[in-house]
Homo-oligomer: A and B are copies of this chain.
């Protein structure tokens, strides 16, 4: 599960990088500055820190930045896949982790990517060049919106992973203390992050929290940041740049938050074509109807 969260956070960072780099032509120095700056704030974490360092590394062979010489095809050891498969067995939704695993797989579809890139016209639009936009610093700038978007999506990715741990603990009798898990992760691992202190405190205050998204401090944070996640997703949509992890994080939040889901239609369809029965809002039991009469 640690590695599933790691996949999700790495994919979220990669999408943010893509939006800055291809969306508005930030160069590696600007990217290094930004990630180093972000590492001083709420995003402070090992993965943000090493990302800042990566952008600075010069390739001894070419004199260019090494990150630009690395092929965009991901390899996997299988730990993300196992997290997704275990979650499916436990019937726990972890869509942002699933999306991160799928996106690594997709990056390896080299022939399909080349063919489809050639077959379709380029994305609809790009941001103004970076030197124009970098002048706007502060709360309303693209990068401060992205900082809050990345923070919000990271919280949501953790919420998914912790929900899987909670339900696995219950199914298998692990008796996990999620506050302790957060403390251990914080101590030293790839996903160590200052956010884990908020998570630890949340589970210490309420060990049986049914979702990280219900911790008062998280409600406060996410309530402020979710608008920036929305605007960042829309930016990606407009630019034609893929943002599956940012999108599924937002969809996970909106699914849990929106009250009634349209799943009643899915249940009606299943009962229509397969007599799979449905439950009702007004009484107990399972029911079957002849829908086409």
In addition to A17-B265, A21-B262, A112-B210, 6 A-B residue pairs with Cβ atoms within 8 Å of each other are A10-B269, A53-B272, A70-B267, A112-B213, A117-B259, A120-B226
A251 contacts B by Cβ under 8 Å: yes
Contact with B along A220-245 (1 / 0, CB 8 A): 00110011001001101110111110
A254 contacts B by Cβ under 8 Å: yes
Q: Bound complex: CA of A51 vs CA of B293, how far in Å?
A: 13
The answer to whether B117 and A257 have CB atoms under 8 Å apart is yes
Number of interface residues of A (CB under 8 A): 118
Q: Bound complex: CA of A23 vs CA of B272, how far in Å?
A: 25
Contacts of A93 in B (CB 8 A): 102-103, 105-106, 109
A84 contacts B by Cβ under 8 Å: yes
Assuming the contacts A88-B85, A104-B263, A115-B210, asked whether A237 and B241 have C-beta atoms less than 8 A apart, the reply is no
Q: How many copies does the complex hold?
A: 2
The answer to whether A230 and B238 have CB atoms under 8 Å apart is yes
Give the Cβ gap from A219 to chain B, nearest Cβ, in Å: 5
Assuming the contacts A257-B240, A281-B70, asked whether A75 and B262 have C-beta atoms less than 8 A apart, the reply is no
Assuming the contacts A47-B269, A81-B88, asked whether A276 and B242 have C-beta atoms less than 8 A apart, the reply is no
Q: What is the predominant secondary structure among interface residues of chain A facing chain B? A: helix
A99 contacts B by Cβ under 8 Å: yes
Contact partner of A213 among B73, B119, B233, B281, CB < 8 A?
B119
The answer to whether A95 and B98 have CB atoms under 8 Å apart is yes
Interface pick from A61-69, A131-139, A195-203: A61-69
Query: Which 8 pairs, one residue from A and one from B, show the smallest C-beta to C-beta distance?
Result: A244-B251, A18-B262, A242-B255, A247-B247, A70-B264, A93-B102, A14-B262, A242-B254
Contact with B along A264-280 (1 / 0, CB 8 A): 11111110111010111
The answer to whether A291 and B95 have CB atoms under 8 Å apart is no
Residues in A lying within 8 Å of B, measured CB to CB? 10-11, 13-15, 17-18, 21-22, 46-47, 50-51, 53-54, 57, 62, 66-77, 81, 84-85, 88-89, 91-95, 98-99, 101-109, 111-113, 115-117, 119-121, 123-124, 163, 190, 210-211, 213-214, 219, 222-223, 226-227, 230, 233-234, 236-238, 240-244, 247-248, 250-270, 272-274, 276, 278-282, 289, 291-292
Contact partner of A111 among B53, B101, B210, CB < 8 A?
B210
Interface hub of A88, A121, A219 (most chain B Cβ within 10 A): A88
Q: Name the residue of chain B whose CB is nearest to the CB of A267.
A: B70
